[in-house]
Amino acid sequence: MPIEFTIQPPDHYAGVNEPVKRPREFTCFSYDRERRFHLGDRSLKWFYPAYIPSDLSRGYQNWQRHDDSIDEHLDGLLAAIADYEKQTGKPIDAHVTTWRGMMTKIMATPYDQEEWEMNATFYRGCIFIEENHAFARRKKMMESSRPARSDGISPNLMQYWGYKFETLSTIPRPWGEVSRDEIESRDDEIVNNMEQYCSVVRTGFGNTIVCLGGEVDAIWDAKPETPGEPINWVELKTSRMITNTGIQTAFDQKLLKYWIQSFLLGVPRIIVGFRDQDGILRSMEEYETLNIPYEVRRRGLAKWDGNVCIRFAALFLQWLRLNITEEGVWRIRRPFRGSRIELTKIEQVGHGAIITEEFMNWRIKL
Ligand code: A3P
Ligand code: MG
Ligand code: MG
């Protein structure tokens, strides 16, 4: 029998402003264009606006696509954490360690119907949470096998538009260090979504310290000299041009996800590329992450409150910490439209594949 955490209606979580920490990056890592792992920031990109108009479908047939059939668990994140611990000589102090994507799902839960599954284990004072990869893959397959739009545009092509926009909006070095030619030839660059820069931050919800790893699309200028200072990250998104109130309402709902995703890593600015139905980039808009909740409330079309998400996450993590206190593997499951999150112990000993041998071997030395 699972243990259950009840998801109350949003109002239940309103009115309490949970203390939150500002996320601070303490290390980072990169995947290169072959998806090889590297410590450090070699895959960091700088923001440089795309040209308007641009055809986001261009080069689709050459897309070097990340193979997401491979379960990467928390491997990259743990390698970066172990390296940081080797430098400082002590373990990080997080109560929960996971990918930003998992925390996004948790935070959106009060306003979302989405089903999700995660695996968790407890190791040396910290709960490590990964996505249940097999479940996520099944779900994705179902979604991408949906019929193409009546005009023949497939979900895969629409996904490509997002990565193409990132390629068109970034340069591999700061503004002063790239040639005009490099900037102008971005449209010919082969889109590759294996390459990623990942930021690793320490943040918190209520009294739970959380370590998150997640991809950052670009930087505006340069990392500050002092570690821990806010970084001018840029999140890039594409969305359909807003031509009526219905689309505006849907967009304001989507802003909840944008806001959560960027809030979690301390990304201050989101650049949205608006495209038409044929995937032609028509305009761009800048959003200040911290202003988004006010903006959405002012328009009054979508009803969500960021503080509800924060409060919900704080309570849920606290509950998780009361229930996951020993070795073994737990399944955390939110059924479709479910009003409960279920927690079931699925393995009695060990840590499944959540924690790598390398990480354990390192921690034993500490
Ligand atoms: P858009 O968000 O512009 O559509 P991210 O914005 O998180 O950096 O992701 C980059 C792109 O990856 C997205 O571009 C989208 O194409 C694709 N993507 C991200 N999350 C996805 C999901 N849950 N399902 C399908 N595609 C996704
Ligand atoms: Mg991205
Ligand atoms: Mg993006």
What is the ipTM for the molecules in this complex? 0.96
Which bound ligand lies closest to the C-alpha atom of 191?
Answer: 1
For 338, the 3-state DSSP assignment is: coil
Residues near ligand 1 (Cβ within 6 A): 159, 162-163, 165, 215, 217, 237-238
One-letter amino acid at 73 equals H
In this structure, the strands spanning 196-205 and 126-131 are unpaired
Interatomic CA distance for residues 278 and 118, integer angstroms? 36
Q: What is the pLDDT of residue 1?
A: 84
Please give the distance, rounded to the nearest whole angstrom, from the Cα atom of residue 275 to the centre of ligand 2.
17
pLDDT of residue 146: 82
> Which positions of the chain have pLDDT values less than 50?
none
Contacts of 62 (CB under 8 A, 6+ apart): 190, 191
CA-nearest residue for atom 21, ligand 1, is 159
| pLDDT confidence of residue 72 | 98
The H-or-E segment that residue 95 falls in is none
Among all bound ligands, the one having the nearest atom to the CA of 162 is 1
What is the DSSP-derived secondary structure letter of residue 353?
T
Residues with Cβ–ion distance below 5 A, ligand 3: 217, 236
What is the reported pLDDT for 220?
98
Torsion of CA 90, 93, 96, 101, to 10 degrees: -80
Question: What are the backbone dihedrals phi and psi of residue 43, each rounded to the nearest 5 degrees, phi first?
Answer: -100, 10
Query: Which residues make up each annotated binding site?
Result: 166, 217, 235-236
- Residue 67 burial (10 A CB sphere; 0-12, 13-18, 19+): exposed
Rg (CA), the chain: 21
Could you identify the atom of ligand 1 that is nearest to the CA of residue 160?
16
Query: CB-based contacts of 298: which residues, under 8 Å, 6+ apart?
Result: none
Q: In sequence order, what DSSP letters do the residues of 16-71 get, joined into one string?
A: ----BPPPEEEEEEEE-TT--EEESSTT--EE-PPPSSEETTTTGGG-B---TTS-
Question: Ligand 1 atom closest to Cα of 261?
Answer: 7
d(CA 164, CA 277): 16
User: Could you write out the DSSP letters of every residue in 103-122?
Assistant: HHHHHHGGG----EEEEEEE
Q: Which of 142, 139, 144 is nearest to 160 (CA)?
A: 144
